[in-house]
Amino acid sequence: MTHEMTITKLTLWHIGLPMRFTFRTSQGTLSHRESLIVGVTTSSGYTGYGEVVAFTEPFYTAETLTKSKDILLTTWLPFFVGKTLSGPWAMYDLIRDMPNTAPDAVAMTAKTVDSASAPADEPLADTWRSHYPMAWAGLENALIHAYYGEQRLSTIGTLVLGEKHKAIESGVVLGDMPIPDLLKAVDAHVAKGCKRIKLKLKPGDAVARVATVRKAHPDIILAGDANCSFAIEQADEIIALNAYNLRSLEEPFRVKDASGNYKSAEVYRSLPQELRQAIKTPLCFDESVQSLAELKAMHATGWLDVLNIKVGRLGGLRETVRCLDYCRAHNIGFWIGSMVESGVSKYMHVQLATMADTWMAGDLSDMSRYFEKDIITTPIEFSKGCLAVDFRPGLGTDIDESVLNEYTVAKFVFE
């Protein structure tokens, strides 16, 4: 029998999380994490939570926190008040009746959304969703956690098929820093039991950074992330990384156009096959693959070996599950990433990282590295490099309301 869930209230918290250090990549820095938390309360009194993981500046994708907040407050949240979901993905049927109006802050963007840009069989509301995946993911995750949570079912445990482990290993991401400091940081994390390190890399010193770490730790699983920072003319640096047995290298080449939009499949399709054959390191894609359609397009170029899975970037759990199914069907490696996010999004990724067929440990390490306090009650803290994972109902953990309120910059309620 299909479960029905009626929505009585939607809440949006705009929060600010002070970070314990400045995180640097080739694309920018982050020292204070603003985020949006969506709460969906049902007629049973249960509340499901989701997080909008867009950044305040468009260094990762074109979607920013302001754009996400605008479309949620003006269109999506008020629309769902009083609606009833008769299945886990019923929200997709409902949005076909969503009014075709959008705030100027959303419409006037690099990815302009208008009736001409939408396919003939796709309502404009669906087009907005595809253009603002992180805003939609925050809402969809809250809806789906509420739907399964009030039935006392685990969302990830129910939706994501396949064998799962009861614990995960940590995977530390280290930002751009002087090489001596980098080596000290790697030493410290390996001493705590971490077996997988990912380095942020940029043109000029990428090989030196990898070589230094690999010499000091020949047996650890080592990965790299270039964040689309290398020009094609700098490919020799990428080829030189062949010698260091990287598990994968993310987003090596520049693929953004002048408007900040990713042209990944187009760029990689134009590259010579000789270059593809010269690069032996498995290539992983992250920010330039934001949907199943883009995954298929990149896979068709012959350059994609591995996919970094982030629910927010992919636009919610439905699209994430579709991408996982595609990867499994086509023997594409996948593993679980992270967005410097609160536990509302992070714990969902912790659960996903239990999948037995992941490519390597995810970008999941102690939350206390980033923030003094988290807004969930389940500590994400690894012991000797391992973390036991819970699959309680819904999200799998509870919200610490006192911390949530402490970090809240603004709060909006629709009921």
Please give the pLDDT value at position 114.
Answer: 37
CATH number of the domain to which 378 belongs? 3.20.20.120
Do 99 and 22 fall within a single domain? Answer: yes
CA atoms within 13 A on the CB side of 210: 29
pTM of the full predicted structure?
0.91
Please give the structure tokens belonging to residue 87: 């299945």
| Greatest mean pLDDT range, 58-67, 250-259, 275-284 | 275-284
Q: Which residue has the higher pLDDT, 401 or 101?
A: 401
Distance (Å, rounded) from C-alpha 382 to C-alpha 366? 6
CB 342 within 8 A of CB 376: yes
- Band (pLDDT 50/70/90 cuts) for residue 96 is confident
- Digit-coded pLDDT (tens) for 287-342: 999 999 999 999 999 999 999 999 999 999 999 999 999 999 999 999 999 988 99
Cα Rg of the chain (Å, integer): 21
Instruction: List the single range of 124-133, 136-145, 203-212, 264-273 with lowest mean pLDDT.
Output: 124-133
Q: Quick: pLDDT tens for 286-296.
A: 999 999 999 99
pLDDT average, residue stretch 253-275: 88
Domain count, the chain: 2
Dmax (CA) of the chain = 61
Determine which of 19-33, 80-94, 183-197, 251-265 has the lowest per-residue pLDDT on average: 19-33
List the domain range (segments joined by +) for residue 209: 158-395
What span, in angstroms and rounded, lies between the C-alpha atoms of 37 and 26? Answer: 28
Residues 199 and 54 reside in one and the same domain: no
Instruction: For residues 88 and 92, give the distance between their C-alpha atoms in angstroms, rounded to a whole number.
Output: 10
Instruction: Identify whether residues 354 and 241 lie together within a single domain.
Output: yes
- Residue 231, Cβ neighbours under 10 Å: how many? 10
Domain at 55, CATH number = 3.30.390.10
**pLDDT at 400 (0 to 100):** 96
Residue type, 65: L
What distance in Å separates the CA atoms of residue 81 and residue 71, rounded to the nearest whole number? Answer: 15
Task: Report the C-alpha gap between 50 and 13 in whole angstroms.
Answer: 11
User: Do residues 338 and 173 touch, judged by C-beta distance below 8 A?
Assistant: yes
* Residues 220 and 277 reside in one and the same domain: yes
Same domain, 203 and 121: no
**179 and 255 fall within a common domain:** yes
Cβ(312)–Cβ(341) under 8 Å? yes
Contacts of 261 (CB under 8 A, 6+ apart): 62, 110, 111
